[in-house]
Amino acid sequence: MTDLGDAWTRVLAGLPPNQRAWLTNSRPVTLHESTAIVAVPDDFTRGQLETRLRPDLERILTESFGRDIRIAVTVDPSLDPELREQQAAQQAAPQQPQQYAQQPPQQQHPQQPAVREPLHTDGAYQPTIQSALTDPANAPQYNQPRPDAAPQHYQQPAPQQQFGQPMGSVAPPPNGSPTQSATEAQGEARLNPKYTFETFVIGSSNRFAHAAAVAVAEAPGKAYNPQLIYGDSGLGKTHLLHAIGHYVRSLYTGARVRYVSSEEFTNDFINAIRDDKASQFQRRYRDVDVLLIDDIQFLEGKIQTQEEFFHTFNTLHNANKQIVISSDRAPKRLEALEDRLRNRFEWGLITDIQPPDLETRIAILRKKAATERLTAPPDVLEFIATKVQTNIRELEGALIRVTAFASLNRQPVDLSLAEIVLKDLIPEGSKPEVTASMIMGQTASYFGLSIDDLCGSSRSRVLVTARQIAMYLCRELTDLSLPKIGQQFGGRDHTTVMHAERKIRQLMSERRSVFNQVTELTNRIKHQAKQQ
Ligand SMILES: Nc1ncnc2c1ncn2[C@@H]1O[C@H](COP(=O)(O)OP(=O)(O)OP(=O)(O)O)[C@@H](O)[C@H]1O
């Protein structure tokens, strides 16, 4: 089998000298499926590879391996010969003050030390991803908090770096009068506090995407730009995007991180045009260090928004600002997206997430139970994980229902109880497709309301609960995103849907009536879906 090192030698031999010169200090890092990762010493070289050399490099690699190979370029400053010389000189003179400029972030992940690549002999940073891929045991581990430990993310506040400063130059600790308060910045970043790397379970289905996400968060704008994560609904793309945001913010003081779904980006853009506030819009998305943009497939067919996003992308990329994108499909399958955008997505690293295997599903349930303080014995977790196989959101929903049912009946969570609850939730045989209109129709008729009531603005108690239950069921039983669900309910904001989801989860374990309503409605909706 061809080895990447050999193939790279062939690449070098096959290029004309003027092109080869760009690769003198490059290094092939690893081959993951059809992506060859290549490290270069600086951003400028990366730009040359991405724009000028890419077609020839990919052609020669494709010929060598006999299958389609694409490259992703990462910056590893230690490949710069001048830097090596400097570092060698420093090593020869140990009495000199240590040179930090090219070191990795010294602070570890607030919860668990991230196991990183052994440092080069010259002390330079190596992307975490390589060792995580070659030996999964090396992937950063963010274990469950020990029951006896204080919440670990509050432990040992790591010294932070100022964003834009070289790695290792430590910013002064926050002194209580920052220009922007932590809460404000958090609000602006719009990150869900629950979606962190600590709460993300790593398995073979997501190891590559996770390792790349950690590498990107540790060296934003440097490791892989853009990073694109794709996979089916409910497999953790949004979770990883938020986790990157949190980790960047914990490593770099003042880093401007912004998470946005593509639907919100589109709506924001339309409103900005309508209100003549284009420059404000542009500032919001271009004056950031890390832009996390979710569900990019939503831009398909939206020509003007794509145009705007294209310019946002270019501005950020040219300024070495990190862009992370999620999509429900591989970029080449985003057929209604302009070529120039798809093309740019391929400049960086594309990682996919697959449905988790049984062990990972069990581990996810275990972690979820621990973080939500839900008690469920191992055989019940295993049973749920066996029953719900594809969507992690559904997996979590099943755990919540089982524990809610037990708490309402003041019964322990055991296998027979889990069997009863899941029998209705997950019918045998093929999975029927549930739509938002089915959910809304069934909910309206169950509560004696109309669809207009569900979409309207009345806040009477019954109506609010019915609306929230319908939103909760849309979240659990369909693949619709938060903004899409909001749209279905009279153009409500995605935060309203998030609130409804949380509220119903809580009420299900507190009020039997709500639990019964949700269960009955689920049965009716699934029954209807099976008939279609
Ligand atoms: N590896 C994981 N470990 C722990 N929880 C996970 C993992 N993957 C997904 N989840 C959880 O599953 C739920 C769904 O994940 P998420 O919303 O990130 O999926 P998604 O791929 O973005 O889906 P969609 O495309 O529908 O938006 C979330 O609650 C998330 O925390």
Contact 235 CB / ligand 1 (< 6 Å)? yes
Helix (H) or strand (E) holding 65: helix 54-65
Question: Residue 479 Cα, ligand 1 centroid: separation in angstroms?
Answer: 12
| pLDDT band, residue 200 (cuts 50/70/90) | very high
When comparing pLDDT for 142 and 235, which is higher? 235
The answer as to whether 293 is a domain residue is yes
Helix (H) or strand (E) holding 323: strand 322-327
- Which pLDDT does position 146 carry in this prediction? 30
pLDDT at 154 over 60: no
**Residue 4 confidence (pLDDT):** 84
Question: What pLDDT score was predicted for residue 70?
Answer: 82
Ligand 1: centre distance to CA 239 (Å)? 5
From the CA of 265, how far away is ligand 1's center (Å)?
21
Number of domains in the chain: 4
Spacing, Cα 305 to ligand 1 middle (Å): 26
Centre of ligand 1 from the C-alpha of residue 233, in Å: 8
- Give the pLDDT of residue 58: 87
pLDDT at 14 (0 to 100) = 83
Is pLDDT at 1 greater than 60 in this prediction? Answer: no
* CATH number of the domain within which 443 lies: 1.10.1750.10
Q: Whose CA is nearest to atom 8 of ligand 1?
A: 236
pLDDT tens, residue by residue, 225-270:
999 999 999 999 999 999 999 999 999 989 999 999 999 999 999 9
Q: Is residue 409 part of a domain?
A: yes
Note whether 412 and 444 are same-domain residues: no
- pLDDT at res. 128: 53
Atom of ligand 1 nearest to the CA of 240: 18
First to last CA, the chain: 50
Are both 272 and 213 inside the same structural domain? yes
Instruction: Give residues with Cβ within 8 angstroms of 135, minimum separation 6.
Output: none
For the chain, percent of residues with pLDDT exceeding 90 = 43
CATH number at residue 404: 1.10.8.60
Selected residue with higher pLDDT from 290 and 182: 290
234: annotated binding-site residue? yes
Q: Residue 220 is part of a domain; what is its CATH number?
A: 3.40.50.300
Is residue 198 scored above 60 in pLDDT? yes
71 touches ligand 1 (CB under 6 Å): no
Q: Does the predicted model carry a pTM greater than 0.80?
A: no
List helix spans (H) across 303-435. 303-318, 339-345, 358-371, 378-387, 392-408, 415-425
Distance 243 CA to ligand 1 centre (A): 11
Distance 235 CA to ligand 1 centre (A): 5
> Does the structure show a pLDDT above 80 at 305?
yes
pLDDT of amino acid 161: 54
Q: Is 236 in the pocket of ligand 1 (CB under 6 A)?
A: yes
Confidence at residue 506, expressed as pLDDT on a 0 to 100 scale? 87
Is the same domain home to 331 and 447?
Answer: no
Q: Report which ligand 1 atom has the smallest distance to the Cα of 482.
A: 27
What spacing in Å lies between the alpha carbon of 476 and ligand 1's midpoint? 12
> Residue 264 falls within a domain, yes or no?
yes
What is the reported pLDDT for 130? 57
What is the average pLDDT across 4-20? 82
Give the ligand 1 atom nearest the CA of 203. Answer: 1
371 and 253 within one domain: no
Q: Is 206 in the pocket of ligand 1 (CB under 6 A)?
A: yes
Q: Is 478 in the pocket of ligand 1 (CB under 6 A)?
A: no
463 shares a domain with 526: yes
- Tell me, yes or no, whether 212 and 338 share the same domain: yes
Q: Is 522 annotated as a binding residue?
A: no
**pLDDT, tens digit, 9 for 90 and up, residues 327-377:** 999 998 998 899 999 989 988 899 999 999 999 999 999 999 998 888 899
CB of 242 within 6 A of ligand 1: the answer is: no
Q: Choose which residue among 239, 292, 327 to substitute to test ligand 1 binding: the one with the highest number of ligand atoms within 8 A of its C-beta.
A: 239
Q: Is 210 in the pocket of ligand 1 (CB under 6 A)?
A: no
Mean pLDDT (whole number) for 32-38 = 81
**Ligand 1 center to 223 CA (angstroms):** 24
The encoded tokens of residue 493 equal: 């904001």
Is residue 241 in some structural domain?
Answer: yes
Residue nearest to ligand 1 atom 26, measured at CA: 233
For residue 46, name the pLDDT band (cuts at 50, 70, 90): confident
Q: What is the pLDDT of residues 414-433, one digit of tens each?
A: 999 999 888 877 666 556 78
**pLDDT, greater one: 103 or 63:** 63
Residue 368 counted as an annotated binding residue? no
Structural domain of 57: 4-81
pLDDT value at position 19? 78
> How far from 501 is each of 239, 377, 447, 474, 483, CA to CA, in Å?
16, 25, 18, 9, 13
User: How many whole angstroms from its chain centre is CA 375?
Assistant: 27
For the residues 505-520, what does the mean pLDDT come to? 86
Provide the pLDDT for residue 123: 35
Between the CA of 337 and the centroid of ligand 1 the distance, in Å, is 25
Strand partners, 260: 293
Same domain for 378 and 406?
Answer: yes
| C-alpha distances in Å from residue 61, one per residue of 39, 57, 72, 351 | 15, 6, 12, 19
Which DSSP state fits 51? I
ipTM of this predicted structure = 0.98
Give the range with max mean pLDDT: 91-95, 163-167, 410-414: 410-414
Asked whether residue 377 falls in the same domain as residue 480, the answer is no
Q: Is residue 216 part of a domain?
A: yes
Residue where one domain finishes, among candidates 81, 110, 133: 81
Choosing from 392, 394, 395, 480 the residue with most ligand 1 atoms within 8 A of its CB, the one to mutate for a pocket test is 392
The separation between CA 479 and the C-alpha centre of its own chain, rounded to angstroms, equals 17
Structure tokens given for 228: 């694109």
For residue 205 and ligand 1, the question of a CB distance below 6 A is answered with no
Residue 86 CA: distances (Å) to CA of 46, 71, 100, 283 = 22, 30, 12, 39
Question: Based on the domain organization, do 308 and 407 belong to the same domain?
Answer: no
Mean predicted confidence (pLDDT) in 183-198? 76
Instruction: Tell me the H-state helices in 191-330.
Output: 207-218, 237-251, 262-274, 278-286, 303-318
pLDDT at 286 over 70: yes
Question: 10 falls in which pLDDT band (50, 70, 90)?
Answer: confident
485 Cβ closer than 6 Å to some ligand 1 atom: no
In a domain, 187, yes or no: no
Whether 341 and 366 share a structural domain? no
Q: Is 230 in the pocket of ligand 1 (CB under 6 A)?
A: no
Closest to 261 (Cα-Cα) out of 281, 277, 237 = 237
Please tell me the total number of residues recorded for the chain in this structure.
532
Which protein residue has the closest C-alpha to ligand 1 atom 23? 234
Distance of CA 409 from the midpoint of ligand 1 (Å):
29
* 496 inside domain: yes
**Which range, 47-51, 217-221, 506-510, is most confident?**
217-221
Coil, helix or strand for 33?
A: coil
Instruction: Indicate the pLDDT class of residue 110, thresholds 50, 70 and 90.
Output: very low
Same domain for 479 and 396, yes or no, is no
The verdict on whether residue 238 carries a ligand-binding annotation is: yes
Task: Give residue 114's pLDDT.
Answer: 34
Confidence of residue 22 (pLDDT cuts 50, 70, 90): confident
- Protein residue closest via CA to atom 29 of ligand 1: 393
The verdict on residue 431 lying in a domain is no
Ligand 1 neighbour 392 (Cβ under 6 A)? yes
Q: Determine the pLDDT at residue 89.
A: 72
> Residue 53 phi/psi, 5° resolution?
-90, -20
From 49, 81, 113, the end of a domain falls on: 81
196 lines ligand 1 (CB under 6 A): no
Q: What is the mean pLDDT of residues 204-228?
A: 92
Please name every residue paired with 291 in a beta bridge, in sequence order, or none if there are none.
258, 323
Kind and range of the H or E run holding 475:
helix 461-477
Average pLDDT over the chain, rounded to whole? 80
Q: Which has more pLDDT, 326 or 95?
A: 326
Q: Is the CB of 397 under 6 A from ligand 1?
A: no
Residue that terminates a domain, selected from 51, 81, 111 = 81
- Residue the block writes with tokens 């950690």: 214
416 and 456 assigned to the same domain: no
